[in-house]
């Protein structure tokens, strides 16, 4: 893995990193393509230490292009006036390293870029998931000033990769915080939440699911069957079955 924050354990990420390192010694423009959260901007910073600007802030983009030899442009596919950008770059001869979530048209590629690097989503780069999660864990340690040796990553297969690095970071932070909770913390959180919910006239009945649902979910994961769960909970099987049916929408989400 390189000294930057870009994780490159998978073949796809390693190939992307090789291309990025090659571009350090070249002066050509390059586009990095991939869905949100896959590390496009981090990879761009591996190529060059340049100002970063979003294509959605077009006036700011023109100012930076006008005053910089090299610029990293995020969301290149969001640029509102591609022709004016072309005219400005023709005058300034500014080098562009850009990112986009999807491929650009051939006409735009021909004008601006000589090379494209593609970063697939994390679900297609499973080798990168755990080291990236560990990097987020170190980030948390630094943020909170703690020195935990390791985060429990045994259930890393259950990590949320729906938004790639963004959702993985959230999953790591959530796992870290949940692992830090004491009983008093959980009770305080519940109390603060319930303060905002009570006052309707049937509160106990309406809010009982906040206790029942997580208990039943935990029971399924721990005991595996309704029979074992009813025995451990000290509940009648029919009572437990009715609760499971009542909360079916929560239990399947």
Q: What is the DSSP string of 16-80?
A: HHHHHHHHTT----EEEE--TTSSHHHHHHHH----EEETT-HHHHHHHHHH-SEEEEE-GGG-S
Q: What's the confidence (pLDDT) of residue 139?
A: 87
Q: b/e string for 52-62 if b means 16 or more Cβ within 10 A? A: ebbbebbeebb
What is the per-residue pLDDT for 51? Answer: 96
Q: Which residues of the chain have pLDDT under 70?
A: 1-4, 146-154, 253
* CA atoms of 73 and 61, how far apart (whole Å): 8
Own/partner pairs, 24-29, CB within 8 angstroms, 24+ separation: 24/48, 27/95, 28/95, 28/114, 28/115, 29/95, 29/96, 29/97, 29/98, 29/112, 29/113, 29/114, 29/115
**Per-residue pLDDT at 33:** 98
Q: What would the pLDDT profile of 194-252 be if each residue is shown by its tens digit?
A: 999 898 888 998 899 999 999 999 999 899 889 999 999 999 999 999 999 999 988 88
Instruction: Please report the pLDDT score of residue 1 as a whole number.
Output: 37
Three-state DSSP class for residue 230: helix
Cα separation, 161 vs 201, whole angstroms: 41
Alpha carbon distance 52, 32 (integer Å): 14
Q: What is the pTM (predicted TM-score) of this model?
A: 0.78
> Distance of alpha carbon 193 from its chain centroid, rounded?
26
For residues 66 and 88, the answer to whether their CB atoms sit within 8 Å is yes
Q: What is the pLDDT of residue 140?
A: 84
Closest by CA to 107, choosing from 70, 84, 82, is 82
Please give the pLDDT value at position 45. Answer: 96
pLDDT at position 52 is 97
Q: What is the structure's pLDDT at 153?
A: 58
CA atoms of 58 and 236, how far apart (whole Å)? 65
pLDDT, position 2: 39
What's the Cα-to-Cα distance from 139 to each of 41, 91, 144, rounded to whole Å? 18, 42, 9
Question: 197, 187 in Cβ contact below 8 A?
Answer: no
Q: So what's the pLDDT on residue 3?
A: 41
């Amino acid at each position: 893995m390189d000294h930057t924050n870009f994780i490159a354990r998978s073949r796809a990420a390693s190939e992307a990193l090789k291309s990025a390192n090659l571009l350090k010694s070249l002066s050509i423009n390059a586009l990095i393509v991939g869905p949100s959260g896959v590390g496009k901007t981090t990879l761009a910073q591996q190529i060059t230490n340049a100002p970063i600007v979003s294509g959605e802030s077009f006036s700011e983009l023109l100012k930076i292009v006008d005053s910089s030899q090299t610029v990293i442009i995020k969301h290149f596919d969001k640029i509102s006036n591609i022709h004016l950008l072309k005219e400005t770059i023709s005058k300034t001869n500014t080098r562009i390293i850009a990112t986009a979530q999807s491929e650009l048209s051939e006409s735009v590629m021909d004008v601006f870029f000589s090379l494209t690097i593609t970063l697939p989503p994390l679900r297609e780069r499973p080798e990168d998931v755990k080291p990236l999660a560990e990097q987020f864990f170190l980030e948390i340690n630094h943020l909170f000033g703690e020195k935990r040796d390791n985060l429990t990553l045994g259930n890393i297969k259950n990590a949320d990769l729906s938004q790639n690095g963004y959702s993985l970071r959230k999953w790591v932070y959530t796992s870290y915080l949940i692992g830090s909770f004491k009983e008093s913390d959980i009770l305080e959180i519940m109390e603060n939440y319930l303060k905002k919910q009570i006052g309707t006239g049937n509160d106990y009945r309406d809010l009982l699911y906040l206790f029942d649902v997580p208990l039943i979910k935990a029971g399924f994961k721990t005991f595996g069957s309704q029979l074992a769960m009813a025995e451990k909970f000290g509940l009648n099987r029919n009572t437990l079955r009715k609760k499971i049916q009542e909360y079916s929408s929560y239990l399947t989400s």
